[in-house]
Amino acid sequence: MSVSHRPLLIAIYLPQYHPIPENDAWWGKGFTEWTNVTKARPLFRGHYQPHLPADLGFYDLRVPETRQQQADLAAQYGISAFCYYHYWFSGRRILERPFNEVLASGKPDFPFCLCWANASWTGVWYGAPNRVLIEQTYSGYEDAVRHFYALLPAFLDKRYLRINNKPVFAVYKPMELPERKEFIKIWQKLAVQNGLDGIHFTGFAWDWSWDFSNEGFDAAVCVPPAPLISEASKTDKNLPTIFEYEQIRMKLIPAKIMKDGLYSCLRPNWDNTPRSGARGLVFHGSTPELFRSQISLALDQLKDRSPGSRVLFIKAWNEWAEGNYLEPDQLHGHGYLQVIKSELDSRSWI
């Protein structure tokens, strides 16, 4: 088996597991993602809550040993890289400490890339939709240049994930980026000027028919589209919107991948009621074995692709308050990770 031809499995990584002044001010002293996780309670019969971590415990991402344990666990089960959420509000950064320490220390020695989570922070999931905490703004050419140079040390790091020798940079809401073609043009020019072959721009595709190449992007990550979620009818305002994972899991990725540069995005589980209560969305009854059929289809779709285009995203590694994670929990243990490794190892990648 040629390991070099195996797919790239890129797990989205949330850095909100350490206190920051902003969260202290908004939600109370010492707030982290664990705050909502630990106070969650079942909202209906059979509802699995709270989701509690197993091996890694209630970690603090300021601790280097925790970051190393995460990387070791990911590598053990076939995850290729972490894609760290990156926040940039016209020069203002937030939750940047874990990644900055990874970059500065050189540890863990595990591949990574960045996803610009270019969305305003609001209180929408907490019952305050009109409360804007930080507004996502875009400040034109000078800000684009400043943004690029802020990330250049990461792009030049030997651990930074590359496709076609270009650092992978994802944009969470590409259509909200004004003058996106010009932004990409600026970054591509700066990349070449600084010794890179360019940037591999990837946008999250909320509409799977999105013509990403016409917008200047090299690829698109197929996240579950809005029409799928709107299929649900909510009959009780005191309950979240509920999907049976067994019924929905194969709709979360494209049945066929018809175009190079489209990347499926696996979704092993989802339950954001720890954040949003009855306003939340639940994929009920997710198990590692049900997830197996999703990853099996996604891997089969990659077999006919050239090795350099065998890419899968997984949302997510550690979004615990959204019930969306691969890290071991107290119900399934290493189950989701074991399924990934099992399906990867059962195929010959040539």
What's the CATH number where 36 sits? Answer: 3.20.20.80
Residue 341 inside a domain? The answer is yes
Tell me, what's the pLDDT at 126? 62
Vertex 343, ends 338 and 349: CA angle to 5°?
130
For residues 67 and 15, the answer to whether their CB atoms sit within 8 Å is no
Compute the average pLDDT of residues 155-182. 97
Tell me, what's the pLDDT at 238? 86
Residue 141 inside a domain? The answer is yes
Tell me, what's the pLDDT at 2? 40
On the question of pLDDT at 179 being above 70, the answer is yes
Tell me, what's the pLDDT at 44? 96
On the question of pLDDT at 3 being above 60, the answer is no
Residue 24 inside a domain? The answer is yes
CA distances from 223 to 47, 251, 312, 330 (A): 24, 10, 11, 27
CA distances from 17 to 59, 98, 104, 202, 299 (A): 7, 9, 19, 26, 31
For residues 114 and 172, the answer to whether their CB atoms sit within 8 Å is no
Residue 81 inside a domain? The answer is yes
Beta-carbon contacts of 275 under 8 Å, excluding residues fewer than 6 positions away, are 36, 125, 126, 321, 322
Residue 82 inside a domain? The answer is yes
Report residue 105: phi and psi, to 5°. -85, -20
Residue 242 inside a domain? The answer is no
On the question of pLDDT at 234 being above 80, the answer is no
Could you tell me the end-to-end alpha-carbon distance of the chain, in angstroms, rounded to an integer? 7
Residue 277 inside a domain? The answer is no
Lowest-confidence region among 2-11, 29-38, 221-230, 301-310: 221-230
Tell me, what's the pLDDT at 131? 82
Report the residue count for the chain: 350
Residue 281 inside a domain? The answer is no
Compute the average pLDDT of residues 225-253. 79
Number of domains making up the chain: 1
